[in-house]
Amino acid sequence: MNRVTHLSEREAERITELVGQGQSYREVANLFGVHHTTIVRLMQIFRETGSHSRSPGQGRPSILTPRDERFLQLNSLRNRSMASVELNTLLLEVRNVNISDRSIRRHLQIAGLHNKKALHVPLLTRRHRVAGLRFAKQHLD
């Protein structure tokens, strides 16, 4: 009976029909594989609003405004080596917003900015460049 997803509008309409036809909340709940209190709440919301659609703004509100998120994204892109701790300090100084470093990393990941360290490779010596040029000339076809 554990169900993480919300009922679709179509399911909610069907539930309302079944309850309207006289079936008990428990019978309908067993039919849809949800707890009977889910049906009770659904019917209560339907009686209050007359609608099956979910109300906007459900869930915990974000601390960051869209402007704060844009600030983080731009500063992260301008300085790719800046750590989340530094971004947090900058956000606190400039925008006066105090959030955790983990929240900053999560917001950047959602925006598609993942943490990547710069690759350190050894420099090519003169011998390497000469060998590469020789190879390229031999395989020019």
Residue located via tokens 């405004």: 65
Reading the block at residue 63, the tokens are: 């601390």
Average pLDDT score, the chain? 88
Token duo for residue 71:
């600030």
Task: Give which of 89, 90, 77, 68 is closest to 116, Cα–Cα.
Answer: 77
Terminal CA-to-CA distance of the chain, rounded, Å? 67
Q: What is the pLDDT of residues 118-130, one digit of tens each?
A: 778 888 899 999 9
Residue 111: band (very low, low, confident or very high) from pLDDT cuts 50, 70, 90 = very high
pLDDT tens for each residue of 34-81: 999 999 999 998 898 888 877 776 678 888 999 999 999 999 999 988
